[in-house]
Structure 1
Amino acid sequence: MNSAIGRSQVLRFYIKMFSGGNKPSSSAKDDDVSSLYSIKILSDFLDRSDSSLYHEVYPGTERAEYDFTLERRNVNGTNLLESTSHIVKGCLGVGILSMHVGYMHGGLWASLGVTAVIGSLVPYAMYMLVYSAQKLYVRLRVPRLTYSHLVEAAIATGPMRCCRKHSKVFRYSMDVILFSEVCGTCCIYQIMIASTMKQVLESLSPTILGWHLSLRIYILIVMVPFFCMSMITNLKYLAPFSLIADLFVAICILTTMYYSLSEAGDIRDRPAYKDFFGLIQFTGILLYSIDGASVTMPIENNMTKPLYFPMALQIGMTIVLLSVTLTGFFGYWGYGEKCRSPIITHMPFETVPIILGFLFLAALIVSFAINFWVPFRIIWHYIGRRHKRKHGVWERIYRGILVIIITCLSLAYPNLIRLMILMGNFFLSITTFIVPALIESLVTWRPRGQGSVRWRLLKNTLLITFGLALCICTLMYFDK
C-alpha cells in the first residue's frame, strides 16, 4: 500500500531519490547530468568494456570489486528490523480493504491457491530487482539507483547496442508508468473515502439518505480536504500522523473481521471456484494489495546493510501475505455474496463502530496526502526547473492542478473494484513482472552463457509472458 497508509518513511526517501532533493534545478542541463547514460561513470564503463585491449593494458583491474555498502555513508540508514517494517508498510496496500470482494469474485479455495502462487512470484520479482541493481552498482561503481535509473542503466549497459543511446527514453517511460500507477492509487483513495462517507452518513441521517446524492457528489466533497492537504510541502509534517493512521486502519480491520466471524455460516456454502474472469478480477485486487516493486529500490537504497535485503523481504512479505489472506478469506466466509468495499462498511452502525468509521476516514485522508507526494515529485522534477522565481507559489499551484486532475479521473471512473483490477493487472504487471524480468535478463546476459544464464532467460521469458497475459486478459475483461 499500502499499509500503503504507513509509507511515509519509505516515500520520503523515494521522493528524495526522484527529485534529487527539494531545491529546484538550475537549468535544463541538470536533466542530462541526472541521466545515467550521459554521466561520465557510465560512458567510462562502456568505453572500457567495449575495448578489446582493456584487460591487456590494465590487467586485473576488474578484480578489485567496488564495495557499494561502504560508499553509501548513510547516517540515517535503516537496519534489518526497520527495513522489514518498511517492506510491510510499502507492500501492504489499501487493497487489503477489498480482499474479501476479490475472494467473492474468484471463489474461496481457488482464490486461496492463486494467493499462494502470486504471493511467491511478487517477492521473487522484488528480489530480482535488487539482485540486478547490486550487480550494476559494482559495474558502474555507484552506491545506489532508483527504479527508473536502474531501467536506464540496464538498457545502456545491456547487449542491445542499438537501444543504448535511447536508454533515457526508457527512464522517462518508467517515470510515466510509476506516475500513472500512483495517481491511480490516489484515485482509489478518493473513491474509497467518498464511498465510505456516503454509506456512513446515509445510515446516520434519513434526511441525507432522502437526498439521493450520487457517489460523484461525495467525490467532489472529498476533494476539499484533499486540496488542503496537498498544500503541505514538507513531508515531515505528515509523518507523525502515519503511525496513527496505521493504528486506526488495523483496529477497523480487526473489528470488522470479528463481526464477520460472528456471522460466518457453513464454509461449504461458499463456492470454491467461479469462473476464469473472476480469477482475473481477484488477481488484480491481490496484486494491488501486495505489490511492492515501486518501493523496493528506495528501501534497499536506504539500508545500512543492503545485502540483508533478502532476509527482510522474506519476513516482511510473509506478514503481508498472511494479512491479506486472513482478511480476504474470513471476510468472504463471513459476508458471502454481500461483500462490498471497503470492508469497514460491514460494521454495524453502533456507537463504537461509527466512531471507528470516522477515524478510518481521517486515516485515509492522511494516507492520500502521503501517497500524493510520489506522483507530484515525479512530475515536479521535470517542470519545477522552469520556475526559478516564486518557486514555492508555483509548486502549490501545480499541486492544486494535480488534485483537480485526480478528482476528474475519479469522477470519470468511480468504480472502485474495476479500477483496482486495472491497476493491479495492467500497470503493476508491468512494474512487477515484465520490467524486473527484462532488467535481470539484460544484466546477466552473456553471449555464450552458462546453463545458469540460459535458465534465467527461460525463467524471465515465462515471467514476461505471464505479465503480458495478465495485461491482455484485463483488456478482454474490460471489453466484455
Structure 2
Amino acid sequence: MTASTMPKTEEGSNSESNLNDFNSRTDLVKISENDGEYNPADHRDQAKGQSTGGAMAHFIKSSLGSGILAMPMAFKSGGLLFGMIATLVVGFLCAHCVHILVKTSQSICKDIKVPALGFAETVEKAFENGPKRLHSWSKFAKVFVDASLMATYYAAACVYIVFIATSFHDVINYDTGLEWRLRVYISLTVIPCLLIGQIRNLKWLVPFSAMANVFILVTFGIVLYYLFSEPLIFSDKALIGEVTKIPLFFSTVIFAMEGIGSVLPVENAMKKPQQFLGCPGVLNSSMFIVVILYAVIGFLGYVRYGDAVQGSITLNLKDGDALADTAKLLMAVAILFTYGLQFYVPNEILWKKIAHKFNERNHNIVQIIIRAVIVVVSGGICLAIPNLEIFISLVGAVFFSLLGIFVPSVCETVYLWPNRLGWYKWKLYKNILLCAFAIFALVAGSSASIDEIITKLIQNKDS
C-alpha cells in the first residue's frame, strides 16, 4: 500500500489543485455542452495524460508496496494450502471491487458529462443519481469516504513508524550491543517524520520516492536470495491455520494488497480510460502480476521461516549478517522516504476542509502546527502499540475492508438500483455477499487484533 501513484504537480500549483488530482476532479473539469453522447476521454488532457503502459506501471507500483513483506505473516495465520487459495480469492475480490468502482465512476461521468471523478465524488454522485430517498445521503457519503481515506493513510503512517523503528532497533541493538527498547527507537523515528511531514509540494517528494523504489527493489533481491539460500522444508508447516487466526489472515492480506485510494487517480490521468478495464486491460494485467507475486512471497516466506516469521520478512533475516543488515536498513530508509507521500494525502484532504476557518495570513504556521501535532499523536499511538503484526492486521481489518470492499459494493448497488442490477438482480446479491465479507473482515479481524493488543499489553505489564 502506498500513495506513490499521485500525480506530479506543476510549478506554482497550490495544495487544493494537488488534492483535486488525487481525489476530487470536479473543480478542474468543464461540463460538456454537446447534445450527442458524451465520452469522458475526449475531454481529458491528451497532451499531459498518461499512456496505458504508464498507467499499468503506476497501478502496479501502488499495489506492490511494502505490504508484500507482510504476506509471510498472513500465511502463518492461514497455513500453506488455505493461504494460497485464499490469497488468490482475496486478490480476485479486490480486483472486482476496483472494477466496479471504476466502471461506476466512468458511467457517472457519462451521465453528468464530466471528464473524471475522484473516489469521494464518485460515491457522492452515485447517491445523487440513485434512488430519490438516498439523495440526501450524498453529502454524508462523500464525507465518509474522505474521512475514511484520511483515517486509512494516518493509520498506515503509524505502521510505517513502527516498521522503521523495529528495523533500526534490530540492527543497531545487535551490532552495537545496546539494549535500547523499541519505544526509544519509535521516539527517535518521530523526529525525521516531523521534518518529512512538513513537505507540502509533491515535486519535492519525487526524489525521495525514486530512492525508495531503488531501495525496495534491492531489498526484494536480498530477500529472495535468503529465501533460497537453504533448502525449503514443507513438512512441518501447517496446511490450514487455526480457526481463531483466520481473521488475522484476511486482515493482513487486505492490508497488503488493497490500494483502492490510488485507483481513480491512475484512471483519471489516462488518455484512454476505456483501456483501464476490459481484457486484458490495465486492471486485469496488473492485478494478475500483483496477486501472483504476493502469493509466491507469502508462501515461500512462511515455508522458509515458519511460525517465527515477523510482520515484515526483512525482520527475519539473519542478525549480524552484513547483507541482511543492509536489507533491513534499506527497507527502513525506503519506508521513511515514502512516509512523506503517505502523510501528504490525508493532510491535503484535511486542509481543504478546514483552511477556510483560518486567516490566510496564518495558513503557513497553522499547517506547520497541525502537521507536527498529527505526527506526534501518531508517534504516541505507536508507543502505546509497538507491535507491527497487530498494527497491520488492525489497519487492514478496520479501514481497508471498508474502503476497498464495502464502499465500492454499496456504490455500485445504489447507482444501478433498481432496474440495472442484472438478471434476477444478481448484482444485488453479489454485492450483499461482498458487504457481508467486508463486515466479517472488519468485525472478526479487528476483534482478533484487539485481543492480541490486550494480550501484549498484559504481557508487557507483567514483565
TM-score, L = length of structure 1: 0.85
Q: Which amino acid aligns with 2:343?
A: F
Q: Distance in 2 between matches of 1:297 and 1:18?
A: 21
- Cα deviation for residue 465 of structure 1 reads 1.4
Q: Which amino acid aligns with 2:407?
A: V
Q: Distance in 2 between matches of 1:450 and 1:287?
A: 27
Moved over 6 A (4+): 33-36
The structure-2 alpha-carbon separation of the partners of 1:35 and 1:177, relative to structure 1 and needing over 3 Å to count, comes to farther
Higher Rg of the two aligned structures: 1
Corresponding residue for residue 236 of structure 1: 203
Q: Distance in 2 between matches of 1:196 and 1:479?
A: 24
The answer to whether residue 283 in structure 2 is matched with residue 313 in structure 1 is: yes
Q: Distance in 1 between matches of 2:18 and 2:120?
A: 19
Corresponding residue for residue 302 of structure 1: 269
- Cα deviation for residue 194 of structure 1 reads 0.5
Corresponding residue for residue 171 of structure 2: 200
- 1:135 corresponds to which of 102, 107, 118: 107
- 1:218 corresponds to which of 181, 185, 188: 185
Equivalent positions of 1:396-411 (< 5 A) are 396-411=368-383
The structure-2 alpha-carbon separation of the partners of 1:22 and 1:305, relative to structure 1 and needing over 3 Å to count, comes to closer
Equivalent positions of 1:284-299 (< 5 A) are 284-299=251-266
Corresponding residue for residue 275 of structure 1: 242
Q: Distance in 2 between matches of 1:274 and 1:230?
A: 39
Corresponding residue for residue 38 of structure 2: 66
Q: Distance in 2 between matches of 1:443 and 1:451?
A: 13
The runs of 5 or more residues in structure 2 that have no matched partner are: 452-463
Corresponding residue for residue 436 of structure 2: 465
Q: Counterpart of 2:254 in 1: which secondary structure? A: helix
The structure-2 alpha-carbon separation of the partners of 1:460 and 1:362, relative to structure 1 and needing over 3 Å to count, comes to same
Corresponding residue for residue 295 of structure 2: 325
Q: Counterpart of 2:169 in 1: which secondary structure? A: helix
TM-score, L = length of structure 2: 0.88
The answer to whether residue 16 in structure 2 is matched with residue 20 in structure 1 is: yes
Q: Counterpart of 1:75 in 2: which secondary structure? A: coil
Corresponding residue for residue 458 of structure 2: none
CA-based RMSD of the aligned residues comes to 2.8
Q: Which amino acid aligns with 2:222?
A: T
- Cα deviation for residue 383 of structure 1 reads 1.6
Corresponding residue for residue 363 of structure 2: 391
Is 1:155–1:164's contact at 8 Å kept on the other side of the alignment? Answer: yes
- Cα deviation for residue 358 of structure 1 reads 2.6
Corresponding residue for residue 258 of structure 1: 225
- Cα deviation for residue 405 of structure 1 reads 1.9
Corresponding residue for residue 454 of structure 2: none
- 1:360 corresponds to which of 319, 323, 331: 331
The structure-2 alpha-carbon separation of the partners of 1:11 and 1:375, relative to structure 1 and needing over 3 Å to count, comes to farther
The structure-2 alpha-carbon separation of the partners of 1:451 and 1:339, relative to structure 1 and needing over 3 Å to count, comes to closer
- Cα deviation for residue 450 of structure 1 reads 7.1
The runs of 5 or more residues in structure 1 that have no matched partner are: 25-32, 45-60
Q: Distance in 2 between matches of 1:309 and 1:132?
A: 13
The answer to whether residue 146 in structure 2 is matched with residue 146 in structure 1 is: no
Q: Counterpart of 2:241 in 1: which secondary structure? A: coil
Q: Counterpart of 2:310 in 1: which secondary structure? A: coil
Q: Distance in 2 between matches of 1:134 and 1:97?
A: 33
The answer to whether residue 43 in structure 2 is matched with residue 77 in structure 1 is: no
Q: Distance in 1 between matches of 2:103 and 2:423?
A: 15
Q: Which amino acid aligns with 1:318?
A: F
Q: Distance in 2 between matches of 1:327 and 1:350?
A: 21
Is 1:264–1:335's contact at 8 Å kept on the other side of the alignment? Answer: no
Is 1:196–1:342's contact at 8 Å kept on the other side of the alignment? Answer: no
Q: Distance in 1 between matches of 2:449 and 2:14?
A: 33
Is 2:77–2:246's contact at 8 Å kept on the other side of the alignment? Answer: yes
The structure-2 alpha-carbon separation of the partners of 1:479 and 1:260, relative to structure 1 and needing over 3 Å to count, comes to same
Corresponding residue for residue 457 of structure 2: none
- 1:438 corresponds to which of 398, 410, 421: 410
Corresponding residue for residue 106 of structure 1: 78
Corresponding residue for residue 86 of structure 1: 58
Corresponding residue for residue 96 of structure 2: 124
Q: Which amino acid aligns with 2:335?
A: L
- Cα deviation for residue 10 of structure 1 reads 2.5
- Cα deviation for residue 407 of structure 1 reads 1.2
Aligned residues: 440
- 1:249 corresponds to which of 216, 220, 242: 216
Corresponding residue for residue 53 of structure 1: none
Q: Distance in 1 between matches of 2:432 and 2:139?
A: 24
